[in-house]
Chains A and B, each alone.
Chain A
């Protein structure tokens, strides 16, 4: 694939923590509008990969290109400006703000009004504020939190917090959204809603890079999957290829249930198709 077609291109990405090689010479690309799964056992380096892309960590080596532009080593706010927004593995909502204000922070890079026009209460600044608020409310509805729009975020459940993080990242009009285990801790009914939500995001033309442990949840969703183990990419391919890949089966041997579940999930989607 030519790099010009890639939304995100990762080449030779490497990061050490002391003697531990958390991410080793990793290559992959994300194409516009696709859902790319990133899986691997605990400690495989998935979140570290996210942190490297999002600018929260600096790579020791390697290249990251967003729309062809080299972005490795840029600070997180510069990455966000380039349309790459993320959620966190452990909820990091803004506890002192309402749900709608949390989502409006996600739109931070969309604001054009300067401080002077805010202080002067200029019409342009007020219109922009109203437009962003309306859009934030729409996104809150999109993720299914409409009832909690003005709620204090500390009153939300864990699962609602996951959804809020997704709405917040969506508010920045991302080209690419990085979701770190959005399904973790959700009840089965919530999982189905989340899957529909993620398909809805991809349908809007937003690429999704999705970290997930639960293969049963991930494989039916992801067009392609990258598998990490001990920081190394051990496989890459379609959901079907990954399901039957010997190295993946080996890596997950410690957790055969995950594969059995994944296989079943695959069968049920095939049956439905």
Chain B
């Protein structure tokens, strides 16, 4: 199959699934697709570009809150609110990345951790604008050109967003830009000697993936039709990291496998062990790092090699 035909087939199959699912399962499916979208972006940032950042989930939150605030409080039309929200995230990402990528990698981790915490503080203290601890609710996706996208059709929007993110990152990964990111990750000195502008490459990778997270967050805002601080806390930021590591950092298939496995695992485990799945995640994480640093996808490779 030609690549375009493959993408179309994937879009059709994943979209068709939405129409086969109940409304409860559509909700689960949408969130799964959003986790996959986030994991794909975080995989590029952490796995390909090698940046240890904890802000990815915060940008998801900034996207979600900004679309709601810009649309329902500032009264912007939806397309304009999307552009303005992305612009805001790009500005925040640049403000974090430019000073911290000039320093050693550790400082990016600290700066992004601080940003993630600061975001939660701002949400809680934001008064009427952010709705404080209760967040914002009672809004609905506005109609675009007289059409209101609802039910499985909204799931289709998220399918397209996920596939779009995947295609965009896959293309970048296979280009000079993706190789420059990996080179900076593996040896910044050698990358620079080959003509790679190390600081610029890091800033672009960080800003681009942060903006993609923000767009996913905008889609999320109309999944639950409420945004509130607990969703965007550090717990989910770490879950995202676990997904990418357990799946296999640096490869899209790994990010997808990790996101699907860790998102669905609680549904399987909860009936058995209640809300103790965090413990299972921790054990899996340690097992992955000690036994299979290339994650689930590395395990799959090893099994296939043995079978061959």
Q: Which residues of A are in contact with B by a Cβ distance under 8 Å?
A: 54-56, 75-77, 80-81, 85-86, 88, 92-97, 101, 104-109, 111, 113, 115, 118-119, 121, 125, 129, 132, 168-169, 172
List B residues 172-196 near A (Cβ within 8 Å). Answer: 172, 174-177, 179-180, 182-183, 185-187, 189-196
Inter-subunit contact B190/A80 (CB<8 Å): no
Q: How far is the CA of A85 from the CA of B194 in the complex (A)?
A: 7
Given contacts A94-B182, A95-B186, contact A118 B177 (CB under 8 A): yes
Q: Are B195 and A80 in contact (CB under 8 A)?
A: yes
Give me the interface of B with A, judged by CB distance under 8 Å. 168, 171-172, 174-177, 179-180, 182-183, 185-187, 189-198, 204, 250
Chain B residues, CB < 8 A from A107: 176
Complex CA gap A95/B183 in Å reads 9
A97 to B179, CA, bound (A): 8
Q: Give the distance to chain A from B107, nearest Cβ to Cβ, in Å.
A: 20
Known: A118-B172, A125-B175. A85 touches B186 (CB 8 A): no
In the complex, 10 of the A-B residue pairs with CB atoms within 8 angstroms, ordered by the A residue number, are A92-B189, A93-B187, A94-B182, A94-B187, A95-B186, A97-B182, A104-B176, A108-B194, A109-B195, A168-B194
Q: How distant is the Cα of A119 from the Cα of B172 in the complex, in angstroms?
A: 6
A80-B195, A97-B183 known; A118+B190 contact, CB < 8 A: no
Q: A94-B182, A105-B183 are in contact. Are A86 and B175 (CB under 8 A)?
A: no
Closest A residue, CB atoms, query B187: A92
- Cα distance, A109 to B195, chains bound together (Å): 6
Q: Which of A80, A94, A104, A109 contacts B186, CB < 8 Å?
A: A94
Contact for A94 among B177, B183, B195, B198, CB less than 8 A: B183
Given A88-B190, A94-B187, A105-B180, output 10 extra A-B contacts at Cβ < 8 Å.
A76-B189, A92-B190, A96-B186, A97-B179, A97-B182, A108-B183, A109-B195, A113-B176, A118-B177, A119-B171
B183 contacts across to A, CB distance below 8 A: 94, 97, 105, 108
CB pair A118–B194 under 8 Å, yes or no, is no
Among residues of B, the one whose C-beta sits closest to the C-beta of A171 is: B194
User: Which residues of A lie under 8 Å from residue B176 when comparing CB positions?
Assistant: 104, 107-108, 111, 113, 118, 129, 132
A85 CA to B191 CA, complexed, in Å: 11
User: Given the known A-B contacts A97-B179, A118-B177, A119-B171, are A172 and B194 also in contact in the complex, defined by CB atoms under 8 Å?
Assistant: yes
Q: B194 touching A106 by the CB < 8 A rule?
A: yes
Contacts of A118 in B (CB 8 A): 171-172, 175-177
Query: Shortest Cβ distance from B245 into chain A, in angstroms?
Result: 15
Q: Are the CB atoms of B192 and A105 closer together than 8 Å?
A: no
Choose one: A81, A96, A169; the contact of B182 (CB below 8 Å): A96
Contact check, A105 vs B194: say whether CB atoms are below 8 A apart. Answer: yes
Contact partners of A172 in chain B: CB under 8 A: 194-195
Considering the chains assembled together, what is the distance between the CA atoms of A94 and B196 in angstroms? 13
Query: Which residue from A77, A85, A101, A132 sits with its C-beta under 8 Å from B196?
Result: A77
CA distance A29 to B50 in the complex (A): 39
Which residues on A sit within 8 Å (CB–CB) of B180?
105, 108
**Are B179 and A115 neighbours in the complex by a CB distance under 8 Å?**
no
In the bound complex, how far is the Cα of B239 from the Cα of A57, in angstroms? 41
List the 8 closest pairs (A to B, CB-CB), nearest first. Answer: A80-B195, A109-B195, A76-B192, A92-B190, A94-B186, A111-B176, A118-B175, A108-B195
List the A residue with the shortest CB-CB distance to B208.
A115
Q: Give the nearest-CB partner of A178 in chain B.
A: B193
Question: Considering only CB atoms, which chain B residue lies closest to A125 in the complex?
Answer: B175
Is B187 a contact of A81 with CB atoms below 8 Å? no
In the assembled complex, the CB of A66 is this many whole angstroms from the nearest CB of chain B, namely 14
Q: Is the CB of A115 within 8 A of B194?
A: no
Most chain-B Cβ atoms within 10 A of its Cβ — which of A94, A95, A113?
A94
